[in-house]
Structure 1
């Protein structure tokens, strides 16, 4: 089996593709892959580290205002489609998979024009611009949220979940809280605002530090690498030192391993985070980012809230008191946290990778008929 994957711009588009690669390798050890990414996206760093052959295209996104930038965007897209056709002709894939981002638009569109089976995967509850554009010509479409199905041609779309969920669920971990000076026999909340950190969440935690210092549970606060020093400085200015039950970290290299030991998580509501959280059945307090396309994080979070799997706090209403009250409600009320954990497990799809793989096989078979 020969597979081209494309997705870029953010980890939310890249990690599902890499997780799918693991599933395909399980079913087809001889499978060959080629990942096509953009020159500007983080995939240029992430994908080669994963050991996949990688080629780059020069693409860029549209500006919301009418400008010369958009004329260049169209020119770059047309050139990328032409280059994609050459790549596809040379690699001869059985199927081409797009997981979002502008680069996937060029690659998958080229494959559609060449009558090659294509599958697109939408991780969020609100469909991205690229996937909407590609949906008419796609052979099959997989979505991670049931609500997203109505945004695509119904005869093509299937609820499959996010392959990252299966990858995390199957990971082996020997992580212990003792590795960062905490105890394994205490309930622990992990507060994480994304790989770069979130200023609003960081400020709320700083203001809540005195309350967290006297709680009987443990608090692990991940600031983001570029925000760590400013967080420490603000705490010093307030003359607040973290107590023995609190740890402040700039970044976590192996988040899935830490998640497996976490009782409650406070986080953004990105697609990858939700896939990881639900695959492990972790009760969550979600604080959606307001600065994302289509406000999709709010809708992602609402899906979990509606299922009884999470609490949500609107960022504009986030305060230290609300944060502490929410954490207390889950860590100090065992019945509520157990109920929420059970609901998170129901929402999670630990077989998401296998589901998307089956959709991929269906796409190949449909084109043969």
Structure 2
């Protein structure tokens, strides 16, 4: 099977694509071509994964009137022409997009050329690109139950599959005791993991710093992932921490320590929520208020309503409010864990591959 994959800009678009590719490669022989941009994270991440990569030049649409949108339109037309050449040369059986503006010209061109196409939407609230593409593609794969209505008259194309990132985490095999020991944590203390995304988040860091004197009164361990750019300042501020409280600028194998943890404090990006629900992890979610249409809070709502998470909005975030939420979550962690597991779709990667095979076979019949 020959498959073209496109998705980029952030890890939230790229890692689900890689999880899907690994699932597909594990099931049938296939050739993969990934189309992204040179200035997105995909240029590095995909090449490091050893996947053939081609790039196009494209940018996102500004929501306000701007001359940049004229430039974007010109880039879109040029990208369509380049994608057409790439698709003619590669001759894919199916074309998949996992989000980001790079998917626009790739999936649009593929659909117009008659190739079977699918887009995967990670968030509860779809982005501009995927809403645009829903008119042309064969299938729209959803991560959250009940989000299909956002696609309007194209809701009939939607299918709930979850987020493939969760599948990768579910398949990790670790010894929780050994994983905790890598950081010097005791196996019998509850472990709290705090992280604010790959770059960290100052408001979360500040609240955790304020919370730590209160947290010392609880018999817990803490892994505080600050983000690389914030680490030195946080380390200078927090001196003489007990050994059960550890600071890290970044953790490359974060899913492993998540699998050994008892509570997570984080943003509510789509990939993070896929990991939390797959692992059945109680969480305190602090949605980023700086994202389009506040979609992180929309993402978080399904977990909060199910009782799997406690929501703390950034405008309400203090050391005291975070500590109160932490104490509550620790006391309710068994019930919150069950609620999180009830929302998880650990077979999301398999479901997504099933849909790809289905639309590919349907196309071959015609």
Which one of the candidate residues 182, 187, 205 is aligned to 1:184?
187
Could you tell me whether the CA contact under 8 Å between 2:310 and 2:329 is conserved in 1? no
Matches within 5 A, 1:262-277: 262-277=261-276
Deviations 1:249-301 (A, max 9, x none): 11101011111100000010000000011111001110000011111100011
Determine if the alignment matches structure 1 residue 197 to structure 2 residue 197.
no
Query: SS state of the match for residue 58, structure 2?
Result: coil
Could you tell me whether the CA contact under 8 Å between 1:62 and 1:73 is conserved in 2? yes
Query: SS state of the match for residue 114, structure 2?
Result: coil
Please say which of residues 254-263 and 59-68 is displaced more in the overlay. 59-68
Determine if the alignment matches structure 1 residue 229 to structure 2 residue 232.
yes
Query: SS state of the match for residue 85, structure 2?
Result: helix
Cα distance, 1:234 vs structure 2:
2.8
Instruction: Report the Cα distance in structure 1 between the residues aligned to 2:264 and 2:279, rounded to whole angstroms.
Output: 11
Query: SS state of the match for residue 119, structure 1?
Result: strand
Query: SS state of the match for residue 147, structure 2?
Result: helix
Instruction: Report the Cα distance in structure 1 between the residues aligned to 2:362 and 2:139, rounded to whole angstroms.
Output: 9
Determine if the alignment matches structure 1 residue 356 to structure 2 residue 355.
no
* Aligned position for 1:9: 9
Could you tell me whether the CA contact under 8 Å between 1:212 and 1:246 is conserved in 2? no
Matches within 5 A, 1:326-345: 326-331=325-330, 333=331, 336-345=332-341
* Aligned position for 2:173: 172
Cα distance, 1:325 vs structure 2:
1.2
Could you tell me whether the CA contact under 8 Å between 1:189 and 1:220 is conserved in 2? yes
- Report the TM-score when normalising by structure 2: 0.96
Query: SS state of the match for residue 219, structure 1?
Result: strand
Cα distance, 1:23 vs structure 2:
1.1
Cα distance, 1:154 vs structure 2:
2.4
- Report the TM-score when normalising by structure 1: 0.96
Could you tell me whether the CA contact under 8 Å between 1:192 and 1:222 is conserved in 2? yes
* Aligned position for 2:361: 365
Could you tell me whether the CA contact under 8 Å between 1:36 and 1:57 is conserved in 2? yes
Deviations 1:316-348 (A, max 9, x none): 0011011111111122x2xx2111101111101
Query: SS state of the match for residue 133, structure 2?
Result: helix
Instruction: Report the Cα distance in structure 1 between the residues aligned to 2:71 and 2:105, rounded to whole angstroms.
Output: 14
* Aligned position for 1:142: 141
Instruction: Report the Cα distance in structure 1 between the residues aligned to 2:185 and 2:335, rounded to whole angstroms.
Output: 26
Query: SS state of the match for residue 172, structure 1?
Result: coil
Cα distance, 1:228 vs structure 2:
0.3
Runs of 4+ in 1 over 3 A off after TM superposition: none
Instruction: Report the Cα distance in structure 1 between the residues aligned to 2:26 and 2:122, rounded to whole angstroms.
Output: 22
Deviations 1:329-368 (A, max 9, x none): 122x2xx211110111110100111111111122113323
Q: Which runs of 5+ in 1 are unaligned?
A: none
Cα distance, 1:151 vs structure 2:
1.6
Determine if the alignment matches structure 1 residue 288 to structure 2 residue 291.
no
Q: Which runs of 5+ in 2 are unaligned?
A: none
Determine if the alignment matches structure 1 residue 23 to structure 2 residue 23.
yes
